Structure 1
Amino acid sequence: MSEATEKHSRLSRFGRWLAELLLVFVGVYAAFWLNNYQQHRQDAQRRDQILASLEQEFLKGIESGKIIGAKQERQAAEFRRALDAGEMPPLHPFVFTTDYSPGDIATLLQSGGVELLAVKTLMALRELESVIRWGLSDMQRYEKLSDALIVPNLDQDISFFYDPATKKLRKRFEMYPQALEATVKFAHDLERTKTELVKQIQTERQRNR
């Protein structure tokens, strides 16, 4: 075999080796890209599922909250009107019920929400959680006052709660109209923060499509 032929053979083998190496590289890169693409698609689907679930849940909450809030607002306004008119309206046990669990949002975030959701959406969720926690703290405080001051004395005459001369609530019962008005404020705060959160969720879903 001549030197030229041997050189050509070596170059040919090197070329085939280089081509095989390039083919392996392209194959590995393509597999890596495909895996990333599939993971991205899965993340996008998971993100949209979370956002869609949140959007539906909060829209339902806003609608039901409007109904409950309107009722609470009427009750608070009527009590305040009667109080200001000197009618000495009766006091009732203050009870606030909710199905909110402090772990609800935390569970959502731990299930992948932190990695998948936009920062603005997470901030809006945290804001809602803060409003709920502070609001419930107020409601629980008023419930305890009601349990201590009102519930044990429901069989008392109206003069126990009011000063008959001024027709004003006695000082220790001044918390009652404040409690009614606090429920109205809480309802308004919830509606506002939920509405802002839904807008942010809708913006994120639209951007990801």
Structure 2
Amino acid sequence: MGRELVFKKIKNSGIGLTVVGSIFTLLTLCMLLFLVVDGSLIDGLIILLIVALCGGLMLYFGIRNLTNPMKHGMFKRNPYLLYQVDNMAANKCYEDKFIMISDRCIANKKVYNEIAYLEDVFLVYIQKQRTNFIPTGKLLYICTATGNIAINIYGVKKQLVDELADKIAKVCPNVRFGYNNDGLAYLNQMQQLYKNNNGMIPYKGFVQNVFVRQQNYYGQGYDQNTFSQ
């Protein structure tokens, strides 16, 4: 069931891109006809080329997603995606309104393809978004070997966010917390280690359905004062 959701998302994306790309292509032909008749082809050539390029790219990626979904960028970023979503579907042992956890993986509850192995989670921090000094958003970033899992926590009580951080710390053996120089250096170091070891980070034996409290409750380096950015 896991990988079916991923392929469905890619298919929907392919259909959308193909439709929009076709519209842009038709628009290009109409513009070309109009400019030729109007005698102003040279003046509108730049706009015509931009529209044609956008339409062509959308058509290309749309058709590619439909005919060869394994070429989608999400598989390039995370070669283990299908194995992970299958594992989550078969062995899920925890779920709340933010995340899902299996015996091997952690995932965004609302964005199924944002998933990683537990040992591949390296850094967690909160980013607050403001517009004209007014708070407009708040995201919890779970930084992994293959990308970021972004969870919207705007308006969520601090207690629930702390419980979420606690849950992540319990099951992710390599995680640190806080947006600071040490945390970012550690993230870069671990991502480089992941690349140098052909996508392998030591697995420390998380036991299915059992959350074992780590010696450092919030993960190494956790500091509530530096947890958020």
- More helix per residue: 1 or 2? 1
The answer to which structure, 1 or 2, has the higher relative contact order (CA under 8 A, 6+ apart) is 1
Q: Which has the larger radius of gyration?
A: 1
- More strand per residue: 1 or 2? 2
